[in-house]
Structure 1
Amino acid sequence: MRNHAAILAAAERLFAETDDGPGVSTEDIAAAAGVGKGTIFRAFGDRAGLLRAVYDARVETLRATSHDSGSPASPRDQVHALLQGVVQAKIAHRQLVLALEDATGQRKAETLFESPPYQWVHGTLQELLGPLLEERMPPAWVAHVLLSALRADLLEHLLTNDAMTKQEILDSIRLLVDQILGPAT
């Protein structure tokens, strides 16, 4: 258990300190945690499993925040709040999320769509969108479309290559949701 916590702390620290999330290796994490590479594989299965464990802690914070702060007044406000929270978490931890999305793409056992954090956010969005879409579009599809606009690699590109600010991204996501849902009633 002590090694497990040391590995998670080392991984989180390395991702916070780097500008190249996918470049942080299992060997780097093992050295920073003071364990052998085999310990990581025994504890987490593979690099993607380790990254998932670190990211799951971030998602738990998002879940707790969405439940503890009380639900916004309307389902539309809840959609906005959830997507804004996802964007902020991905930007705050973007090197970790970039590495995770890269590792998940290389991993055959689980796709991004099958990952528990994605399924939680997608399921929550789908549930909130159902009554708002009034059968105009399938809520599951709209939830996937909205989440595709929040991929870490896209956010990274927008922040670095297109020089958008975090606030501009947040405002654009809000506008996108409002365009999809139509006028508020």
Structure 2
Amino acid sequence: MVAAINESAGLAGLPVTDSAPHERGDAARNRALLLDAARALIAEHGADAVTMDDVASAAGVGKGTLFRRFGSRAGLMIVLLDEDEKVQQQAFMFGPPPLGPGASPVERLLAYGRERLRFVWDHRALLSDAGRDPQTRFNAPAMLHRSHVRMLLATAGTSGDLDGQADALLSLLDSDYVTHQVEDLGRSLETQGQAWEDVVRKLCGT
């Protein structure tokens, strides 16, 4: 309980990914149609192959509606990523242990790393696109992840430069790094998860 209270206090200034503003019924329906269409196309063809024309056609709306709602292809991709990010952020901040409060900080770090590896792999194209722009690479959701890892390291009693240690750990979860490990080096997510665990235990002295 104390850990949960401390976490809520420590992360209070870093909100979970912002929700979309309140919309009229027809605008909200169009938004949902477009996002559902984009998700389905990405699942079938991969993010790199999906165009704005494809999304508009699949959703049955004009391309102008799509551009007015999201501004650009990059804007659409960021919204898709943010929606899924919000679900994961809620899980590690408020969900059941070991990912959420209630487990030891080391157990939570281990669960976080493995869960995040799966998320990064499933969203690798979107995260890679976002990572090329400093405005999205270091946005509020990214800083929330960093603060979460740093807080768990501190709660575990880790000594030394916590900022550097958090950054070093999170580099193992970078989308381009994870993709390179899987596609070029043949290192599975399970193998990478074990590497994450080894580094966490070294840092935390367990």
Q: Please report the TM-score for the alignment, with normalisation by the length of structure 2.
A: 0.75
Instruction: Give the aligned partner of residue 183 of structure 2.
Output: 160
Alpha carbons 1:159, 1:165 under 8 Å: kept: yes
2:52 partner amino acid: T
Task: Specify the SS of the correspondent of 1:147.
Answer: helix
Between stretches 117-126 and 21-30, larger displacement belongs to 21-30
Task: Specify the SS of the correspondent of 1:55.
Answer: helix
Displacement of 1:78: 1.4
| Identity within the alignment, % | 28
2:170 partner amino acid: L
Alpha carbons 2:33, 2:59 under 8 Å: kept: yes
Instruction: Give the aligned partner of residue 41 of structure 2.
Output: 14
| Equivalent residue pairs, number | 175
Instruction: Give the aligned partner of residue 84 of structure 1.
Output: 114
Instruction: Give the aligned partner of residue 64 of structure 1.
Output: 90
Instruction: Give the aligned partner of residue 141 of structure 2.
Output: 117
Task: Specify the SS of the correspondent of 1:111.
Answer: helix
Structure 1 vs Structure 2 CA RMSD:
2.1
Q: 1:63-82: per-residue Cα shift (whole Å, max 9, x none)? A: 23332214242111111222
2:145 partner amino acid: V
2:178 partner amino acid: L
Distance between the aligned counterparts of 1:102 and 1:85, measured in 2?
21
Q: Equivalent residues in 2 for 1:132-151 (5 A)?
A: 132=156, 134-137=158-161, 139-151=162-174
Alpha carbons 2:78, 2:126 under 8 Å: kept: no
Distance between the aligned counterparts of 1:98 and 1:41, measured in 2?
21
Q: 1:82-124: per-residue Cα shift (whole Å, max 9, x none)? A: 2221111122x23xx323422552x57x23112x331221121
Please identify which structure carries the higher helix content.
Answer: 1
Structure 1 residues not aligned, in runs of 5+ = none
Displacement of 1:164: 1.6
Instruction: Give the aligned partner of residue 127 of structure 1.
Output: 151
Structure 2 residues not aligned, in runs of 5+ = 1-27
Task: Specify the SS of the correspondent of 2:156.
Answer: helix
Q: Please report the TM-score for the alignment, with normalisation by the length of structure 1.
A: 0.82
2:105 partner amino acid: P
Distance between the aligned counterparts of 1:89 and 1:168, measured in 2?
16
Larger Rg: 2
